[in-house]
A and B are shown apart, each in its own frame.
Chain A
Amino acid sequence: MSIMGTRVLRTEDPRLLTSGGVYTDDLRLPELTGAAYVTIVRSPIAHALITGIDAGAAVAQPGVVAVLTAADLPAPPEGGDPTDEPLLAGDRVRYVGEPVALVLTEDRYQGEDAAELVSVDYDPLPAVPGIEQALTGETLLFPGTESNIVGTDTAGGCDDASFDGCDVVIERTIVNQRLAPVPLETRAMAAIWANDRLTVWSSTQNPHLARGDIAEALGLDNAAVRVITPDVGGGFGAKVAVDRDAVAVAWAARHTGHAVRWIENRSENLVAMVHGRGQRQTYKIGGTRDGRVLAYRLDVVQDCGAFNRLATFLAELTIKMAAAVYDFAHAGASYRAVVTTTTPIAAYRGAGRPEAAAAAERAIDDFAAEIGMDPAEVRRINVVPPDKFPFTTLTGETYDSGEYAAALDRVLAAADYPALRAEQARRRERGDALQLGLGLSVYVEITAGDMGGETARVVVDGTGAATVFTGSSAHGQGHDTAWAMLVQDELGIPMDQITVVHGDTDLLPDAIGTFGSRSLQLGGTAVVKAAGEVKDQARRLAAEMIEASEADVELDTARGTWQVRGDPASALGWGQVAQRAGPDGLAADARFDASAPTFPFGAHLAVVEVDTETGKATLVRHVTVDDAGRILNPVLAEGQRHGGIAQGAAQALLEEVRYDADGNPLTSTLVDYAAITATELPSFELVASETPTTINPLGAKGIGEAGTIGSTPAVLNAVIDAVSHLGVRHIDMPATPEKVWAAINEAKAGR
């Protein structure tokens, strides 16, 4: 029986549960003995000119190896883009947390002491702490530019005339707030420069992309840089490639010739690792009172933070996915992206797609409330029907496959939606303090949308054991287990004889890595292709050895042996065949490039209780369909859904990065940033659903971000639904007790 689709426990876990993983700061390698600890001096002010840096007192401290500033960096190229981000701030800082200097010390604790003594003179400039201030253009982040707008684009078309014929038109501006990714392991790096080569250990999702970024910044060839990823303690998009802070650490190794190591503390992480989301969204939705939406328009202002690292790309994704799961007669979207004196925004679980879904799902509920129709019914009327796939949206994406109404109906049935509505009605009737809210979302997302492909190598040695080299770098997803399952299924070599290797640019020089829910469909398919090529080689050799024609030789995948068809007595083991190939055994490289992205979809129902006296909203049930095509290992897929649901619910209820009017971060510790805990979540109710795609031979779509995309709007809609009978029509995220309480009281006052 094939192992595909079965519940296999992770091979990664025994190590992680006993001796613990080996994360970057855990490395005790000989080449890092005596490495200097790097402490980063960061800007304490949002926007200022640097008028002087005096490191004298710091350099005089015990154990200080070096203090490095922008003055030590190579001069930027003539005529370079003034908005390019330097490794260390030179004449100006643009966010609290921006790296200004590196302090290298012999001992970890010495670094913090010495860093405090680096004296930086700042001449403050007005802060631009958010979208509103950025759009006025009164203070420009980059002198010489005309405005703070760094990008605009449109998708589809939907003008005022598109709303002609609508019975109801609603326009509303909502917030998709800035979030902190908070991987439990903060950013970390170690680096050595030896024999004209830089070796870097980095907590990254993409060693190969990190290699390219580091090589470019340091003026080295890719071949002169080796990046190794030890265990990585979570990424969630925020560890895609490598940030300037980490590149600066690598540069310090090159510049000083000293081995270095660095791990940021959490207070640094919350201001200097990228943030996610950060959009102001204005939607306009119109339709008829029978529930048909005729036109939908989304206008986004994307906060990039101080530098446009990836934010315009996120906004592009948002507008391209703006039409969501719906077959609207008219749909369009636009964005403007602005720089602000805040931490740069980049990818965070979903990265542009949750923003699109949050807007559309809020708009649908808004419309349903206005026409007095059940939001489930409005969705059923407007989603793309199954017979229209592949379906090209008005905002320009072609969805491969989907069963949107069916997903919705399965969730409603699993949750017993009518019973929940009846309970809600009873509580409303009684005027209970604890009101019940039901929130829905139906979503689609784009995965493996980067079209970069992925690589793999499969080797079978003379003992019959296999080694899989994969370009997909893991940080908790369970690639070791998943890839071993794929190879066992393809070659019949048992999982315990398969080693999976990832995260070393010298071992597999060409790869992309992990983001955008791409690993299984691209990296997994590459593994299957490489294994298939090994199988072809083995077939030829086995035929020679058995002296049979290739056509008569078969692989018995149950036993992992090659034999003449129907003649088990002729069986050869993988080890024998690999020995025949030579001392290096059998090996094949493969690359898989998909012809198109895939579009996972699903439906979520959140059940929330709101205490109308305090405004506190509690998520009490969460029921989901998350259809990611064919499932390789339900244990892993469910784990991805769980984590995604929690992070999405956290955005709806709790989490928000906040700044004051001067651009000072107000959420720079985990005391202030409300990372969601076990007490704030229920157990989740997952409904299985598999609609395979034809885009790759595994039939798989991405699952890493789906839960987040579905849960945020479902949970927020549930909170609002709980108090809608009191006259509340919208609450901005996060729906904290304060905001919910205020919304209830404003609605009462307005009546």
Chain B
Amino acid sequence: MKVAIGVNGTRVEAEVEDRLLLAYFVREVAGLTATNIGCDTTSCGACTVLLDGESVKSCTVLAAQADGREVTTCEGLAGADGQWHAVQRAFRAEHGLQCGFCTPGMVMAAVSLLAENPDPTEAQVRAGLEGNLCRCTGYHNIVRAVLAAARDGQQRDAGARYGQARGLPGEAP
């Protein structure tokens, strides 16, 4: 069947097998390999991407189901100016990754988590990431990174509100 899927803002059209999974569409049709495949039972979360802004495990979504929709992968997370997303910055600053294989999926899951709950507790972060396995970090620094990104995001929100109140763009004073 023919599908047209937006991937990080670029429309990717292809004739695909009905059974083609979105994970393989992203990796082999769109050619973006940050999204990894770590299992075959929707257990590990390495393949997590955003589908219309919400996290999904792309190994359990058919490319056909994403037809006409917008996928965001780790490659598409940074801003147009190359500025990293707060979650990417926090993973670096807190050493939230080691081998890097779970990382793109973990980062996307964290982005989705913070979109739903911008001010999570540690327990909420842990619960929110339960579907994403990491074998290297013991989750310790991943959790710290997500909490740090949340703080970062709130400062930005506060900065934006501060700026709006004065008719200014920009960061918190």
Contact of A23 among B36, B142, B143 (CB under 8 A): B36
Residues 106-139 of chain B, each 1 if its beta carbon lies under 8 Å from chain A, else 0? 0100000000000000100111011111111111
> In the complex, which residues of chain B have a beta carbon less than 8 angstroms from the beta carbon of A643?
98, 135-138
Does A184 belong to the interface (CB within 8 Å)?
Answer: yes
> In the complex, which residues of chain A have a beta carbon less than 8 angstroms from the beta carbon of B19?
109
Number of interface residues of A (CB under 8 A): 56
Is A20 a contact of B103 with CB atoms below 8 Å? Answer: yes
Contact of A234 among B78, B101, B127, B139 (CB under 8 A): B101
The 4 closest A-B pairs by CB, nearest first: A20-B34, A233-B101, A476-B99, A646-B138
- CB neighbors of B among A258-296 (8 A): 265-267
Query: Interface centre among B20, B78, B139, by most A CB within 10 Å?
Result: B139
Is A646 a contact of B100 with CB atoms below 8 Å? Answer: no
Is B134 a contact of A266 with CB atoms below 8 Å? Answer: no
Mark the stretch among A44-52, A85-93, A679-687, A730-738 that contacts chain B.
A679-687
Q: What is the bound-complex CA distance between A643 and B133, given in angstroms?
A: 12
Beyond A20-B33, A28-B31, A683-B122, whether A670 also contacts B44 by CB under 8 A is yes
- CB neighbors of A among B23-62 (8 A): 24, 27-28, 31, 33-41, 43-44, 46
Does B5 belong to the interface (CB within 8 Å)?
Answer: no
> In the complex, which residues of chain A have a beta carbon less than 8 angstroms from the beta carbon of B75?
18-20
Is A266 a contact of B140 with CB atoms below 8 Å? Answer: no
Query: What 20 additional pairs, Cβ within 8 angstroms, besides A18-B74, A642-B140, A684-B138?
Result: A13-B100, A17-B91, A18-B34, A19-B74, A25-B33, A231-B99, A231-B100, A233-B38, A234-B99, A266-B43, A476-B98, A476-B100, A643-B135, A675-B135, A677-B139, A678-B130, A678-B139, A679-B130, A681-B139, A681-B140
Beyond A18-B74, A23-B36, A28-B31, whether A233 also contacts B140 by CB under 8 A is no
- Contact surface of B with A, Cβ cutoff 8 Å: 17, 19-20, 24, 27-28, 31, 33-41, 43-44, 46, 74-75, 77-78, 84, 88, 91-93, 95, 97-104, 107, 122, 125-127, 129-144
- Contact surface of A with B, Cβ cutoff 8 Å: 9-10, 12-14, 16-23, 25-26, 28, 108-109, 182-186, 231-234, 236, 265-267, 475-478, 635-636, 638-639, 642-647, 669-671, 675, 677-679, 681, 683-684, 707
Beyond A13-B92, A185-B36, A679-B127, whether A233 also contacts B41 by CB under 8 A is no
Beyond A18-B74, A19-B34, A20-B75, whether A683 also contacts B140 by CB under 8 A is yes
Chain A: CB-nearest residue to B127: A679
Main secondary structure of the interface of B (DSSP, over half): loop
**Nearest-Cβ distance from residue A383 to partner chain B, whole angstroms:** 26
**Nearest-Cβ distance from residue B36 to partner chain A, whole angstroms:** 7
> In the complex, which residues of chain B have a beta carbon less than 8 angstroms from the beta carbon of A231?
99-101
Contact of B104 among A20, A232, A636 (CB under 8 A): A20
Is A184 a contact of B143 with CB atoms below 8 Å? Answer: no
Is B41 a contact of A17 with CB atoms below 8 Å? Answer: no
Beyond A236-B135, A476-B99, whether A20 also contacts B130 by CB under 8 A is no
> In the complex, which residues of chain A have a beta carbon less than 8 angstroms from the beta carbon of B34?
18-20
Is B92 a contact of A14 with CB atoms below 8 Å? Answer: yes
